[in-house]
Amino acid sequence: MKDWTFGTRIAASFTLLVLMSVILAVVAVLTLSALRQSAEALSLQGRVLANVERLRLTAEQRAAGLRGYVLTREDRYREELAQRRQDFKALESRLIPEIGPEERKLLADVAESDRAYHAAVTKMTEDLGAEETPADATYWEKNIAPKYEILTTRLEALGVVARQQLDETKKRSDERATLTIGILAVISVLVIVLTIVLAFVLTRALTSRIGAAVQRLQSSTAELQASATEQAATSKEQASATNEVTTTMKELLASSRKVAESTQRVVRIAEQTGTSAKMGQTTIRQASDGVSETKRQVDRIVSHMLDLGRKSQQIGAVLEIINELAEQTNILAINATIEAASAGESGRRFAVVADEVRKLADRVGASTKEVRVLIDEIRAASNTTVIATEQGLKAAEAGSQQFEQVTASFGEILDLVLTTSESAREIELASRQQTTALEQVSSAMLEVAQSSNQVEASSRQTVEVSNELASLSRALARIVHSKTGGAALEGLPEEERPRARSSGGR
């Protein structure tokens, strides 16, 4: 039981009280049922007694009616007798199910005496109606009175028995009532005592536990106060931050829309660039074909130039031969001149021929020099051209390779442009989706801002509530630990007294 919770104890106590109440109720019901039965018995006996009295009264009324008929001979008295007889019989019938065996026996005697009396009365009335018998007191005394006397005696006996029964029933009822009252009183006292004991136990437990709970409540309330205050401050900061975020989201949304517009422009430009790149690729292919043809032409030119160079060298070799011949001719001419000079006068003609030969050799030498110069120039020009052509060929090959690289690069550029265009379209789609998402986020942030403001307001209210809760806990502590709760409340400062709060919403 020590491990029971307070709720369990209260439940057990209330269960016990309920059980006791149930027992009390059952006992009360039983006793009251018994009392009701006693009352019903009393009522029955009363009715029996009343009916017996009615029987006696009816018998007297019959006797009175008989006397009236005897005296007046009026039919109405006969009718009244008959009616009274019927009433008497009805009363008998009514009594039968309500009486006991002893009373029933007496009632049977009454019925028998009633039949005898009725027979006597009927005969008397018939006789009186026939006017054969005068109204004679002795007839009454002889035939009617005894039977009436018997009837009334038996009726009285029945009445006595009925009264006795009633008295016994009343006595039993009184006894039963007394017993019921005692039982109920005892049970009530037990219940009251049990209730007092349970109340005392619960009060002690409540006091101790509630006191501890109140202390924990106070500490928790203090923590709640601090937490609520912190939450209020945090909510305020959050609300302001949310407002800033909302403003930032609006700016971000505007920026996103600009980005989306710029992306659309980029997509258009990328598509135009792709179209231009495709056209450029076609042009490059055509130019590449031209470069290849140029390269082939340059190759042919180089071949021709190399052939020209070889021919020039051959010409140079021929010139060397001519030059050598001219030189040898010159030497021969000089030697011929020398011989002519040695020959004196006879060598003068020979000297002339030698001189002409020398002149010819000089002219040939001079021409050879000029031709050599020309050939050298041609060879130089040819070499230069060959070199230039070879350089041009190399440049053409390099240019062709570069052009191929350019073609490949252009192809890569075209692929990149197409990829860029595709990426730009994806970026545009993503930008539109981002704009949509930012719009949704912006609206959500507006809602969050509103919620933050509401949370801030709620936090402030929470702080107020926690403050009131703290004052309530202090008041509760005073109540719990004070003998007079009202005085404890009165002793609280005004600001700490619990204020009435409406049970409606905030």
Partner 1 sequence: MTLEDTSGVLERLRREFDHSFSRPRSGEVRKTEWVVVLGLGGGRVAVRIDQLGAIHSGRKVVQVPSENAALVGLAGVRGRVVPVFDLASLLGLGRSPPQWRWLAVASLSVPAGFSFERLELQAEIELGTELVTLPDGVIPVVDLRAVLSPVAERE
Pick 12 or 332: Cβ nearer partner 1: 332
Number of shown-chain residues binding partner 1 (CB under 8 A): 24
Q: Which two tokens stand for residue 196?
A: 């007092």
d(CA 473, CA 176): 55
Pick 245 or 364: Cβ nearer partner 1: 364
Is residue 314 at the binding interface for partner 1, with CB under 8 A as the rule?
no
Long-range contacts of 252-256 (CB under 8 A, 24+ apart): 252/438, 253/435, 253/438, 253/439, 253/442, 256/431, 256/434, 256/435, 256/438
Binding residue for partner 1, selected from 1, 7, 132, 342, defined by CB under 8 A: 342
Pick 246 or 330: Cβ nearer partner 1: 330
- Cβ-count burial of 7 within 10 angstroms (0-12 exposed, 13-18 middle, 19+ buried)? exposed
Q: Which residues contact 98 (CB under 8 A, 6 or more apart)?
A: 44, 47, 48, 51
Q: How far is the CB of 273 from partner 1 (least distance, A)?
A: 56
Is residue 327 at the binding interface for partner 1, with CB under 8 A as the rule?
yes
First to last CA, the chain: 43
Torsion 177-182-185-187 (CA) sign: negative
Q: Please say whether the beta carbons of 459 and 232 come within 8 A.
A: yes
Is residue 356 at the binding interface for partner 1, with CB under 8 A as the rule?
yes
Is residue 352 at the binding interface for partner 1, with CB under 8 A as the rule?
yes
Place of tokens 């052009």: 403
Is residue 346 at the binding interface for partner 1, with CB under 8 A as the rule?
no
Q: Specify the stretch interacting with partner 1 by CB under 8 A; choose among 31-39, 154-162, 259-267, 365-373.
A: 365-373
Is residue 333 at the binding interface for partner 1, with CB under 8 A as the rule?
yes
Plot region of 288 (φ>0 → left; ψ -120 to 50 → alpha; else → beta) = alpha
Is residue 321 at the binding interface for partner 1, with CB under 8 A as the rule?
no
Cα 172 from chain centroid (whole Å): 71
Q: Please say whether the beta carbons of 340 and 351 come within 8 A.
A: yes
Binding residue for partner 1, selected from 142, 204, 258, 359, defined by CB under 8 A: 359
Place of tokens 């006992």: 27
Binding residue for partner 1, selected from 196, 374, 398, 408, defined by CB under 8 A: 374
Is residue 338 at the binding interface for partner 1, with CB under 8 A as the rule?
yes
Pick 150 or 353: Cβ nearer partner 1: 353
Is residue 337 at the binding interface for partner 1, with CB under 8 A as the rule?
yes
Q: Specify the stretch interacting with partner 1 by CB under 8 A; choose among 3-11, 279-287, 341-349, 479-487.
A: 341-349
Pick 18 or 331: Cβ nearer partner 1: 331
Binding residue for partner 1, selected from 296, 304, 311, 349, defined by CB under 8 A: 349
Binding residue for partner 1, selected from 341, 380, 381, 487, defined by CB under 8 A: 341
Is residue 334 at the binding interface for partner 1, with CB under 8 A as the rule?
yes
Pick 239 or 378: Cβ nearer partner 1: 378
Helix, strand or coil for residue 103? Answer: helix
Is residue 362 at the binding interface for partner 1, with CB under 8 A as the rule?
yes
Q: Please say whether the beta carbons of 162 and 45 come within 8 A.
A: yes
Contact footprint for partner 1 (CB under 8 A): 327, 330-331, 333-335, 337-338, 341-342, 349, 352, 356, 358-360, 362-364, 367, 370-371, 373-374
